[in-house]
Amino acid sequence: MAYQYSVTTIVSVHTHLRDNILDTGSSNATLAIMDASDTLLASITLTKPSGTVNATTGQLTLTQDSPETNAPAAGTADHAELRGGDGNVVCTIPVVEGSAAQSGAVVISNKNIIVGARVDLISATIG
C-alpha cells in the first residue's frame, strides 16, 4: 500500500516551505530557468510571500513579481531551480511549454529562449 499525506500535512509543509525557507533572506525567492547542461537561461523573481497555499489541495502556487527581461543565454529550457531568498537551491522542477497551469511543473510560453528575450512565468505549482 502506498502512503499518502493528509491535506492538513501538505498545507503545513508548503506553508513552512514558503514562509521559512523561500521567503527568508533579504532578497526575493527566484526561479532560475536552466537548460539540460545547467546553463542559466533566465531568472524570474517571485513575490514576497512567494506564493499561495491552497487550503483545499495543499498546492503551493508560486507568483511572479518580475519577469526575466534580458535572458543572459540562449537554449532550450529543461528545468527550474527554485531558490530561496538566500540564494540556496531548494528543489528543481521540470519546465514545460504551455498556456495553462500544470501541477508539479514550471510553465512558460516558449521553452526556446534566445539571448535578450523576455521570459514570463505562466504558472508554477508544487504539489
pLDDT tens for the chain, residues 1 to 127: 788 999 999 999 999 999 999 999 889 999 999 999 999 999 999 999 999 999 999 999 999 999 999 999 999 999 999 999 999 999 999 999 999 999 999 999 999 999 999 999 999 999 8
pTM of the model: 0.93
The mean pLDDT value of the chain amounts to: 96
- Which pLDDT tens digit goes with each residue over 86-117? 999 999 999 999 999 999 999 999 999 999 99
Q: Where are the domains of the chain?
A: 7-126
HEC sequence for the chain: CCCCCCHHHHHHHHHHHHHHHHCCCCCCCEEEEECCCCCEEEEEEEEEEEEEECCCCCCEEEEEEECECCCCCCEECCEEEEECCCCCEEEEEEEEECCCCCECCEEECCCEECCCCCECEEEEEEC
**pLDDT computed for residue 3 by the predictor:** 86
